[in-house]
C-alpha cells in the first residue's frame, strides 16, 4: 500500500536558454528531440542524501507518520553520496529513524521500481511493516560537460513513497510488479570507470571514462520495446484491460519515448502523465517525482488505476500496477 508521497528538487533551475550559452545546442533542438524545457541542478554542497531526506520528510508528512514508524529505508540511486558505503543509512540517520534496515538499490533509471519490489518483499516476509522507498539523484555530477547529447537531458531531484502492509483490494494497493535485465547491453548506458572529479578537483587524464555515456539511439528503441513488453505483462497479471488504465506513468526519459510507448501499449497519449518538460530525466527519481507532481496538481486521484514502467542502465526495466491512494499532497 502506498501511504504517502513527497519530492524534492534543488533550488537552481537551468533553462535550455542557459545551456545554449555554454554548449553547442539550442532550445529548439532540446525541446523537439527530448521535450525538456528546464531541469534542476544541485549546487556543489548538495548531495544525493540531502535531496533524499527532503523527499522522505514530505512523504512521511503526507503519510502522517513520524520517522520512528519506519522499519526500512531503500534509496534507489545512480549517484550515491560516496562509492562506499550506501547512501540509505545516512538518510535513515538524518531522518532520525533509528537503527533500522537501510540500503541502496542500483538499477539506474529502473531503480525506483526495483526499490518498490524490494520493499514489497520486506513487507511480505514480515521483516518490515512500513518502508520508505526513495529515488534520488545528483545526476549532473556524472555528466560530461563536453557531451551535449547527455548534458541537456538529465537533471537532479528526489521522490519518495511510504509503502506499508495492506490488503490487495485497498485503495493504494501495489498490484503485480515485474522486473527484467539484460547485461549484454551493459555498454549502452554506463560510467565506464572511477567516478567524476570532485568539485574543484582537476579532471584526471582518463576523465571521459569517468562520466556517464549513453548510446541514445539504440537505447531509445530498446526502452520502448522493453517497457512495452513489461507493461503488457503486468496488465495481463493484474487482469486490467487497456481501458481500465487511467494513467500511464513511465520513466521520464524523453517525450518521444513516452509517446511511442503509449502507442506501443495501446493507451491514448493524453493518458500518459509526465513532467519531463519541467525536470528533465531524473533517472531513479523520475517516477516518484512524476507521481508526486501529478498528485499535487490533482491529475491523478484516489482510486485511479496507474501503470508504472521504467527502463535504464544495466540494462534493466520494470513495470507495476498501482491503485492511487487517498493521501494529502504536502
Ligand atoms: N543539441 C544539438 N544537437 C545535438 C545535441 C544537442 N544537445 N545532441 C546531439 N545533437 C546532434 C547530434 O550530434 C546529431 O548531429 P549529426 O546528425 O550532425 O550527427 C543530431 O543531433 C542527431 O543526434 P542523435 O543522437 O541521432 O539524436 P536523437 O534524435 O537520437 O536524440 C537522444 C538523442 C535525445 C539522446 C535520444 O536518442 C534519446 O532520448 N535516447 C534515449 C534516452 C533514454 O531513454 N534514456 C533512458 C535510459 S537513461 C538511464 O538509464 C540513465
Q: Catalytic: 281? A: yes
Residue 4 is predicted with a pLDDT of: 97
295 is a catalytic site residue: no
Query: Cell 578537483, residue?
Result: 201
Digit-coded pLDDT (tens) for 221-247: 999 999 999 999 999 999 999 999 999
**Residue with the nearest Cα to atom 11 of ligand 1?**
149
pLDDT for the residue 200: 74
Residue 119 and residue 105 in contact, taking contact as beta carbons nearer than 8 Å = no
Residues within a 6 A CB radius of ligand 1: 25, 29-30, 33-34, 108-109, 148-149, 152-153, 189, 214, 216-217, 219-220, 223, 253-254, 257, 283, 311-313
Tens of pLDDT, residues 255-314 = 999 999 999 999 999 999 999 999 999 999 999 999 999 999 999 999 999 999 999 999
Q: Which CATH number fits domain 2-164: 3.30.1010.10, 1.10.3720.10, 3.40.47.10, 3.20.20.70?
A: 3.40.47.10
CATH class of the domain comprising 174-197+204-323: alpha beta
**Mean pLDDT computed over 114-143:** 97
In the structure, what pLDDT confidence band is assigned to residue 168 with cuts at 50, 70 and 90?
confident
pLDDT the model gives residue 269: 97
Counting residues of the chain whose pLDDT is more than 90, the rounded percentage is 91
Q: Do 124 and 174 meet the contact criterion of CB atoms below 8 Å apart?
A: no
Closest CA to 314 of 215, 228, 187: 187
Domain regions of the chain by residue span: 2-164, 174-197+204-323
Say yes or no: do domains 2-164 and 174-197+204-323 share a fold.
yes
Find how far residue 196's CA is from the centre of its chain: 21
Backbone dihedral region for residue 62 (phi beyond 0: left; psi -120 to 50: alpha; all else: beta): alpha
Q: Which of 8, 16, 109, 275 is catalytic?
A: 109
Residue 205 pLDDT class (50, 70, 90 cuts): low
Q: Which of 65, 43, 59, 249 is nearest to 158 (CA)?
A: 59
Question: Does 198 score more than 80 pLDDT?
Answer: no
Low-confidence winner among 165-179, 216-230, 239-253 (lowest mean pLDDT): 165-179
Amino acid at each position: 500500500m502506498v501511504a504517502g508521497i513527497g519530492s524534492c528538487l534543488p533550488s537552481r533551475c537551468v533553462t535550455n536558454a542557459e545551456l545554449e550559452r555554454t554548449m553547442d545546442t539550442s532550445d529548439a533542438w532540446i525541446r523537439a528531440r527530448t521535450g525538456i524545457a528546464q531541469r534542476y541542478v544541485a549546487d556543489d554542497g548538495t548531495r544525493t542524501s540531502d535531496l533524499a531526506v527532503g523527499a522522505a520528510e514530505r512523504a512521511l508528512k503526507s503519510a502522517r507518520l513520524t520517522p520512528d514508524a519506519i522499519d526500512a529505508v531503500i534509496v534507489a540511486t545512480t549517484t550515491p553520496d560516496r562509492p562506499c558505503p550506501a547512501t540509505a543509512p545516512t538518510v535513515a540517520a538524518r531522518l532520525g529513524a533509528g537503527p533500522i534496515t537501510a540500503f541502496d538499490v542500483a538499477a539506474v533509471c529502473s531503480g525506483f521500481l526495483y526499490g518498490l519490489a524490494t520493499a514489497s518483499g520486506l513487507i511480505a516476509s514480515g521483516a518490515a511493516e512500513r518502508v520508505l522507498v526513495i529515488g534520488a539523484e545528483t545526476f549532473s555530477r556524472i555528466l560530461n560537460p563536453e557531451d551535449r547529447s547527455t548534458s541537456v537531458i538529465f537533471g537532479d531531484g528526489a521522490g519518495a513513497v511510504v509503502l506499508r502492509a495492506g490488503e490487495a483490494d485497498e485503495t493504494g494497493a501495489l498490484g503485480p510488479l515485474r522486473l527484467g535485465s539484460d547485461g549484454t547491453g551493459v555498454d549502452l548506458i554506463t560510467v565506464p570507470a572511477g567516478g567524476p572529479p570532485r568539485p574543484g578537483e582537476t579532471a584526471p587524464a582518463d576523465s571521459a571514462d569517468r562520466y556517464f555515456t549513453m548510446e541514445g539511439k539504440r537505447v531509445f528503441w530498446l526502452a520502448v520495446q522493453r517497457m512495452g513488453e513489461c507493461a503488457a505483462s503486468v496488465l495481463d497479471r493484474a487482469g486490467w484491460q487497456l481501458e481500465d488504465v487511467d494513467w500511464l506513468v513511465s520513466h521520464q526519459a524523453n517525450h518521444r519515448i513516452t509517446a511511442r510507448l503509449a502507442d506501443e501499449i495501446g493507451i491514448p497519449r493524453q493518458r500518459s502523465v509526465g513532467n519531463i518538460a519541467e525536470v528533465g530525466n531524473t533517472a531513479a527519481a523520475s517516477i516518484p517525482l512524476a507521481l508526486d507532481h501529478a498528485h499535487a496538481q490533482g491529475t491523478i486521484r484516489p482510486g485511479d488505476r496507474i501503470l508504472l514502467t521504467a527502463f535504464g542502465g544495466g540494462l534493466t526495466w520494470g513495470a507495476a500496477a498501482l491503485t492511487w491512494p487517498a493521501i494529502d499532497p504536502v
